[in-house]
């Protein structure tokens, strides 16, 4: 069990202010205050939807129209949303930190819109689609989302360019994290708004911790990763991050 400082927010803010190297992992919780629903929890998307129907290659093969209807709805939400103070604080942190890497499981593009650059969207982006035959990538603006299932301008079936259950995450993201952790251990690892259920997320947090990083978890609710964190900040990300990164 980890030691939690008496003032986890103050201690994490001090560590961040002096950090040479910071690794950040985010999940759906950071976009909750932008109005994007999370997956798990009381109001989570997986409460009323079956992930294997909507977010797996098998589900898409069975019913591409159903999957596209759900994605078209989520694309609409994302396009209407704006980055919140949590995303903005991370963009500031990147500018102030010599070595910085942000890994997000989110597909909403809000980190990029807030100004984050050294960023890997490890589960892809809802703002791109991919041809099911050629793997060619299309920005969502180039496609007609009114015609479901969505097709490429060439008439072939398109799919969201996201990582589904049963698929592997992008190799470039693996390479970037490996290089980041191998070159120089991070001083601080921030884990924000994720239930941390995936083994690769847990693995990266554990490696950062073993390499000597101060690991802090920002989450409104208890999360399994909190046990390996030296600081647990039980606050909404949109409130905690501007305090951590003024």
The residues carrying an active-site annotation are 123
Asked if 237 touches ligand OAD (CB under 6 A), the answer is yes
Assess 111 for contact with ligand OAD (CB under 6 A): no
| Contacts with ligand OAD, 43-82, as mask; x by CB under 6 A | -x------x---x---------------------------
CB of 154 to ligand OAD, least distance (A): 27
Under rule CB under 6 A, residue 219 binds ligand OAD: yes
**Which residue number places its CB atom closest to ligand OAD?**
29
- Of the candidates 34, 116, 125, 194, which one interacts with ligand OAD according to CB under 6 A? 194
Return the range that interacts with ligand OAD (CB under 6 A); candidates 34-42, 59-67, 170-178, 208-216: 34-42
What is the pattern of x (binds ligand OAD, CB under 6 A) and - over residues 79-108?
--------------------------x---
What number of residues does the chain have? 246
Q: Rounded CA gap, 245 and 217, in Å? A: 15
Strand partners, 60: none
Give the C-alpha distances (Å, rounded to integers) separating 86 from 9, 35, 165, 212, 238: 14, 13, 27, 25, 4
Nearer residue to ligand OAD within complex by CB, 21 or 201: 201
Quote the tokens at residue 89. Answer: 């604080």
Q: At what angle do helices 85-96 and 237-244 cross, to 10 degrees?
A: 30
The C-alpha atoms of residue 38 and residue 197 are separated, in whole angstroms, by 14
Query: Quick one: which segment of 40-48, 109-117, 139-147, 183-191 binds ligand OAD (CB under 6 A)?
Result: 40-48
Q: Enter the tokens of residue 239.
A: 């409130």
Cα dist from 177 to 11, 137, 212, 231, 238, whole Å:
25, 24, 16, 22, 25
Q: How many residues bind ligand OAD (CB under 6 A)?
A: 26
Q: Determine if 170 is a binding residue for ligand OAD (CB under 6 A).
A: no
Residue 28 found at the interface with ligand OAD (CB under 6 A): yes
Burial of 56 (0-12, 13-18, 19+ CB in 10 A): middle
Q: How far apart are CA 99 and CA 243, in angstroms?
A: 21
By CB under 6 A, the residues from 125 to 144 that bind ligand OAD are: none
The contacts of residue 44 (CB under 8 Å, 6+ apart) are 37, 38
Binding site for ligand OAD (CB under 6 A): 27-29, 32-33, 38-41, 44, 51, 55, 105, 123, 163-164, 193-195, 218-221, 223, 236-237
């Amino acid at each position: 069990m980890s030691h939690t400082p008496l003032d986890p927010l103050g201690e994490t803010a001090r560590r961040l202010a002096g950090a040479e190297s910071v690794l950040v992992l985010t999940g759906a919780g950071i976009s909750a205050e932008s109005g994007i629903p999370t997956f798990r929890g009381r109001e989570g998307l997986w409460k009323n939807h079956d992930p294997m129907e909507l977010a797996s290659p098998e589900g898409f093969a069975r019913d591409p129209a159903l999957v596209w209807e759900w994605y078209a709805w989520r694309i609409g939400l994302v396009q209407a949303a704006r980055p919140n103070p949590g995303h903005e604080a991370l963009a500031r942190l990147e500018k102030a930190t010599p070595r910085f890497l942000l890994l997000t499981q989110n597909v909403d593009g809000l980190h990029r819109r807030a100004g984050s650059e050294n960023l890997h969207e490890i589960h892809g982006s809802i703002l791109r689609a991919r041809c099911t035959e050629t793997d060619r990538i299309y920005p969502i603006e180039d496609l007609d989302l009114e015609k479901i299932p969505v097709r490429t301008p060439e008439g072939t079936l398109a799919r969201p360019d996201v990582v589904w259950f049963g698929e592997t995450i992008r190799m470039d993201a693996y390479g970037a994290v490996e290089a980041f952790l191998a070159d120089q251990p991070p001083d601080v690892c921030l884990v924000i708004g994720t239930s941390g259920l995936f083994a690769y997320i847990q693995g990266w947090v554990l490696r950062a911790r073993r390499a000597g990083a101060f690991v802090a978890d920002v989450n409104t609710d208890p999360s399994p990763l909190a046990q390996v964190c030296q600081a647990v900040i039980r606050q909404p990300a949109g409130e905690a991050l501007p305090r951590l990164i003024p």
